[in-house]
A and B are shown apart, each in its own frame.
Chain A
Amino acid sequence: MPQITDDELLARAEISDLLVRYGQAQDQDEWSLYEDIFTQDATIHFPGMPMESRSAAEFGRFLQDFNKTRLSGQHLIGNTLYRFGEDGAHAHVVSEVVYITLHPAETAGRVRRVRGNALYSDRAVRTSEGWRIARRDIAQKNVEIDEGDYDPALLAAIESAAATRWFDDFGAGA
């Protein structure tokens, strides 16, 4: 396997940051993080799913509305594979994703859990503002939905944490 060049290492770090920003934007409701991930004309696709492809901006608004229905969520991204084009300005990036979202159930004190495994296939391009994702395909591998009882204290802690802005008190002057 050829050695990774310094330029490629920096590009990997920058693209990895895009993946992290996407996950954290969604999971911590920090939508300012979503703004610098995609190109202006980026699109999101859901192969095999009964969902129409849409622009990244439109999908961002969909996710923000979806988040209002959930208690918490986590998208854990790993095993990212990078393949760079010879021009050094294009990359195909494939990542595994494990996710869980927690929603209130109809019965008080119970929650509905959606757990799954998915894959992100991203086409990234180097722009004048840095690397951006131009196309994302989200492939589902597994989805499990069930309900369970939750201790009220734990539920309260989860709701409180979900409403916390974790970077608000960390500024350059803090």
Chain B
Amino acid sequence: MSPAWQALRDRAELQDCLTRYAQGIDQRSWPLYDSAFHAGAQVEVPGYMDTGLGFVAFREMLAGTFDELRLSGQHLLGNMHAKIHGDRARAVTEFLATTLEEAGGSASREVTPGLYIDDFRRQDGEWRIVRHVIVRKAADNAALPLVSPIADAVRATLRTDWLAGAASHSGHS
């Protein structure tokens, strides 16, 4: 494989890894989330969680206290700038997160633009994250009238496994 194709393939695999992370959180598909990390990977959120937390403990926080309020979420990934040196890589990626929360009959929407800084390692031929830093650039929260039929539509698809039945082409569980 030529260096150009290898670089293209590496980048595609890094993007795919980060996409598994985002879709894992947004669709509450925790095995997909786990498949983005190598064992022992750390997650940091400067200004909120400066001491790194293991990715499993972070997942338990997301699936626990966060999901008690979260109705839906979207982490839109864009602009990834990556540097690759052999089996190590760092990627800086812009994201736009929108989270809908519902509590006590009222709802709110938080929009957070931010940056992911990821250190990747390729082990056994597979790129995964070893360190994930979440930087927030803003955070705007607004009360939201959650009215039908939109609210019903959001609730109706919350627990859908969109990848059920799809071929496991990448080997990730």
Q: Which residues of A contact B (CB under 8 A)?
A: 9-10, 13, 19-21, 23-24, 27-28, 33, 72-78, 98, 100, 102, 111, 113, 148, 153-154, 156-158, 160-162, 164, 166-167, 170-172, 174
Q: Which residues of B contact A (CB under 8 A)?
A: 4-5, 8, 11, 46-48, 76, 78-81, 83, 85, 88, 90, 92, 94-96, 113-115, 117, 119, 135-140
Identify the closest chain A residue to B96 (Cβ). Answer: A76
Name the residue in A9, A72, A77, A153 with the highest tally of chain B Cβ atoms < 10 Å from its Cβ. A72
Identify the closest chain A residue to B86 (Cβ). Answer: A172
Q: A148-B140, A166-B117, A172-B85 are in contact. Are A20 and B80 (CB under 8 A)?
A: yes
A20 touches B8 (CB 8 A): no
Which residues of B sit under 8 angstroms from A13, Cβ to Cβ?
A: 8, 11
A160 touches B46 (CB 8 A): yes
Closest 3 CB pairs of A and B: A157-B47, A72-B137, A76-B78
Which residues of A sit under 8 angstroms from B48, Cβ to Cβ?
A: 157
Which residues of B sit under 8 angstroms from A102, Cβ to Cβ?
A: 137-138
Give the residue of A19, A21, A113, A170 whose beta carbon is less than 8 angstroms from that of B138: A113
B139 touches A74 (CB 8 A): no
